[in-house]
Amino acid sequence: MRWRNSRSSYGLISVATHWLVALAVVGLFASGLWMVGLTYYHPWYTRAPELHVAIGVLTALLMLARLVWRWLDSSPDPEPGLPRWQVKASALVHSLLYLGVFVTAVSGYLITTAKGAPAEVFGLFSLPATLHDLPGQEDWAGRAHLIVAYGLIAFAGLHALAALKHHFLDRDATLRRMLGLENPDP
C-alpha cells in the first residue's frame, strides 16, 4: 500500500489516521459518559479523566495532522456515477466531523483548564491554560462539550451508515478504499 492517495484509492496515511480518529472518538464518547458518573471512591475516579484528557488532546492533534495531510496530498475522485447531491452531502458531513472534533476538543480543554491548571498529556507535554477563571466556565464549557460530542457521534453514525449503504446496497468501492483494499491506479 502506498503512503499517498491515488486518483481512485486512499494511501496509508489517510487510512491509518481515519481509523485511529474513529476509534478514539467512539472511545472518548463512551469513556466521557462513563467517567462523569464515577463516585469519589471509585478506583478510576482520577485516572479516567486523566486518560480522557490525554487521549482527547492527541486525537485533536491527529485530526489536525490529517487535515494538513489532506491539503498536502490529493484526494481520490468520487466514485464514478455518484450523484452530485451525494458528493456534496458527504463533503458537508466530512467538514462537520472535522469541526465537531475540534469544537469538542477545545471545549474539553476549556473545562480542564477552567481553574488555571494545564491539560496534561501522559506527562509528555501539557497545554497551558489560556482562557481561565471566566464566570461559570466549567459549566458552559461542560454543556458545550456534551452537546457537541452528541452531535459529533450522530454525524459519525450517519457517515458510517452511508459507508455501509455504499458497501452492501450500491456494492461500490467507497468502504473498501478506506480500508486500503483497493489497488491504487498505476
Which set of grid coordinates corresponds to residue 65? 495532522
Residue 21 contacts ligand HEM per CB under 6 A: no
Asked if residue 132 lies in contact with residue 170, where contact means CB atoms within 8 angstroms, the answer is no
Q: Return the number of the residue (3 or 122) whose C-beta is nearest ligand HEM.
A: 122
Integer Rg of the chain from CA? 19
Among 5, 9, 32, 97, binds ligand HEM (CB under 6 A): 32
3-state secondary structure of 69: helix
Q: Considering the complex, what minimum distance in angstroms separates the CB of residue 115 from ligand HEM?
A: 11
Torsion angle of C-alpha atoms 124, 105, 38, 132, degrees rounded to 10: 80
Residue 140 contacts ligand HEM per CB under 6 A: no
Stretch that binds ligand HEM, among 67-75, 88-96, 97-105, 170-178 (CB under 6 A): 97-105
Q: Considering the complex, what minimum distance in angstroms separates the CB of residue 75 from ligand HEM?
A: 23
Among 15, 53, 156, 178, binds ligand HEM (CB under 6 A): 53
What is d(CA 122, CA 57) in angstroms, rounded to the nearest whole number? 10
Which set of grid coordinates corresponds to residue 178? 478506506
Among 15, 17, 109, 178, binds ligand HEM (CB under 6 A): 109
